[in-house]
Structure 1
């Protein structure tokens, strides 16, 4: 609950002093799996995805872990994968708990599962993919309430999705639920900010969205509110300069929330506004970037960065030009670039700052990929 409310400092005090029963939410004893899961949740919400993933995987590796802890770990792993735009991994984690849903083992986690499933469907098929489920998400039933209470981004996301699919009544209902839950929990600042964000989106009220961004304690949701403000302001020619500044702040906040892939969307918006000086801003570290690439993607990126065309790269690697183009579509978001010129610049940084050879990194990537397939 404290994590959801954005009280990260208080949670760190509790979770990293488990030997003191006087400040433990879990009583005198905190079991290792429970402690790891709580720390993983904190790391995810604070934007440290690497730590969140590592600790959730440790929970799963322990023998005899309770169903709820195992399911919650999978949910964190799925959310981390979504934030990194690894839809296949997110979908895989959700498939691994499909039997739990079928057998009714989700209990209090039904809302979180519904939220992650909705986000996975959106990533796979766009907003239209979640449209059939919109009504259930705003019916104020147990699952609906749990989604709104557990996810600060849920209300604005539902409003945004409903308006995009021309379901204005659904958007209005999402605002009402958010406001009702905020009223029922008067000391829950993130709920209040979420309700204000949803209302501002629905009414296109910049004042409400500004207040939501200023009071929202959850970093990713705060970045989302600033992005929505920037989008609205960009529609007015006289406000476009300010829109650029707001979008830049949004991108910086996404980075602090461990969501560098969301910055690609911001960079595209800035490009549309005529901003051309952000080719290298908000870039993840070279070594962290390259480990996300497969062996073939590394080879393709290296050759294209050297100036080869798709046809030349294809001949060199005994691939088709179509396959090379497909790999580039995967490489660009992983390296946070949108053109071959940016790829060349980023690749130079990787080669210069890398502590290992590209061949070593490629072998590790290949080994990791092979292990995942065999697993």
Structure 2
């Protein structure tokens, strides 16, 4: 088990090649001992899921996490379940599949509060906070955000293990109008980077958070170049683009940063984030090609729906209003209503209730020839 923990630590600091080598040794031990389904096997599956996720292979990460959760459940190894679920939920958020939110948000929050996790509660709390924010805005996540930032142990554990957490916490605390908490995140992140000068991922995270707090677009852009995590690099590029876009004279820099972020998100299998950046580019007068596809319940019975229509149908079936759907897809409520009329006609339904009932029977696999939106 010690080798598995070693591999997990290497993943946390984004030394992925070294982590892969150690994990290969663990898999050899597991095979030699015929421990399929045992603690070592489950731990290695979850570590492999973390490794795939850190490398931007979200689909593989979610698949490995699902297999690990299944084996942990069957073996009664319930302490591993929260760690499997964090990968599942982060994968869903990256891929734009909102249907997982209601299922896991409260569960992950409770696991964090009660310490029901093999690796520590900070990541469970952070993932739960992200879900709650998506579901109901910053206010719904406020308690968890404040709890993480004001607890030294939780905050340092999270900053060490997640290179995207520092910048996210700065954004979250600012949405709560709490500049003191935002500065606390940056202070702790910088101190962690100073104590660990050899950890590039920690330094990049600190630079990203500090530049965001100070409104220094060039510092955030430097963080984008330094991040080892592909999604973190794209996130920094987006943040830099927003800062540049606030200054008319820097439009060209904003466009370049957003273009890089959109490509980075697409390569990191994060279509929801890529769509958001494409929307920002459109506001600057720059149009790109097709939107990245959302994961979700597209299928054989909805082959005539475009990708946007399928995303609208999925969110409406979850009970979101037109305005809420628009916020999540970065389109107007009027555009949502327009798409909804076409969805009703194509699926031969007459109301949101009928759509919800029909959508619940749609297979989860997206057709390969789904139309562009």
**How far, CA to CA, are the matches of 2:212 and 2:141 in structure 1?**
19
Whether 1:8 aligns to 2:19 is no
Contact 2:12 2:162 in 1 (8 A): yes
Contact 2:81 2:117 in 1 (8 A): no
Q: Counterparts of 1:92-171 in structure 2 under 5 Å?
A: 92-96=103-107, 100=111, 104-106=115-117, 108-171=119-182
**How far, CA to CA, are the matches of 2:112 and 2:246 in structure 1?**
43
Query: 2:59 maps to what in 1?
Result: 50
Q: What's the TM-score once normalised by structure 1's chain length?
A: 0.73
Task: Tell me which of 269, 278, 284 is aligned to 2:288.
Answer: 278
Contact 2:86 2:123 in 1 (8 A): yes
Contact 1:200 1:209 in 2 (8 A): yes
Whether 1:35 aligns to 2:40 is no
Once the two structures are superposed, what CA deviation does each residue of 1:176-198 show, in whole Å capped at 9, x if it has no partner?
11111222222221111111111
Contact 2:96 2:296 in 1 (8 A): no
Offset at 1:366? Answer: 2.3
Count of matched residue pairs: 317
Once the two structures are superposed, what CA deviation does each residue of 1:279-327 show, in whole Å capped at 9, x if it has no partner?
32x534xxxx68632677x26726x98xxxxxxxxxxxxxxxxx9x969
Task: Tell me which of 250, 256, 272 is aligned to 2:261.
Answer: 250
Unaligned runs of 5+ in 2: 1-8, 30-37, 310-318, 340-357, 366-373
Contact 2:298 2:362 in 1 (8 A): no
Unaligned runs of 5+ in 1: 22-28, 306-322, 344-361, 370-375
Contact 1:134 1:170 in 2 (8 A): no
Return closer, same or farther for 1:97/1:117 CA change in 2, 3 Å cut-off.
closer
Aligned Cα RMSD in Å?
3.7
Return closer, same or farther for 1:49/1:234 CA change in 2, 3 Å cut-off.
same
Q: Which moved more, 1:134-143 or 1:226-235?
A: 134-143
Query: 2:305 maps to what in 1?
Result: 301
